[in-house]
Amino acid sequence: MAEDYISRHVSKLKSKRSTTLVIKRELLGLHLRRHKIDGKWLDEWLPGAEVRWREKQAGKLTRRDAVELLEKIAESSPSSPQSFATMSNFFKWAILRDAYCIENNPVSNITHTDIPGSFTSRHASSRTASCVKFGTLPKLRLILLDRLSRC
């Protein structure tokens, strides 16, 4: 099913390389090995130590499975927001096709706040960095102190 999704849908996307990497590395637990043969790079995907969803039937995946996988990805990889979006789109695509015995999207009722550490810490630090960069942090402190003094 993942190969169908990659060949039918992902191959048309502008971000096909990164989306393919997320599907194969993060969702299926495969590792990329590249060979240079006759001046051309060939990609070879090998089974990794972690099975992830490689041996599970997509129709039997539950919301708990999705949350566990997203938590693992959030701990080890900076691509957790992209993995979350890719998983959601992958299941939407499969349900629309109605050819893979998938009746529900295990990612449908999950939000980024349900996955600890995946989105919030990175985005909060990047917002703080942009405040410091553009000099708005002192203004923000003044506004907060002003509001606190009114209480």
> Does the structure show a pLDDT above 80 at 122?
no
Give the model confidence (pLDDT) of 65-121 as tens digits.
Answer: 988 888 888 888 777 788 888 999 999 999 998 878 888 888 888 877 777 665 544
> Does the structure show a pLDDT above 60 at 135?
no
What CA–CA distances, in Å, run from 88 to 14, 100, 116, 144? 18, 15, 18, 38
Global confidence as pTM: 0.69
Share of the chain above pLDDT 70, in %: 75
pLDDT of 141: 55
Taking the C-alpha atoms of residue 94 and residue 61, their distance in angstroms, rounded to an integer, is 13
The size of the chain, in residues, is: 151
Taking the C-alpha atoms of residue 119 and residue 138, their distance in angstroms, rounded to an integer, is 25
Confidence of residue 145 (pLDDT cuts 50, 70, 90): low
User: Per-domain residue ranges for the chain?
Assistant: 2-118
Nearest to 21 by CA among 70, 77, 92, 88: 77
pLDDT of 81: 83
> Does the structure show a pLDDT above 70 at 125?
no
The pLDDT mean for the chain works out to: 78
Q: Name the residue with higher pLDDT: 95 or 146.
A: 95
> Does the structure show a pLDDT above 60 at 130?
no
- On whether the 2-118 domain is CATH 1.10.150, my answer is yes
pLDDT of 137: 54
Confidence of residue 134 (pLDDT cuts 50, 70, 90): very low
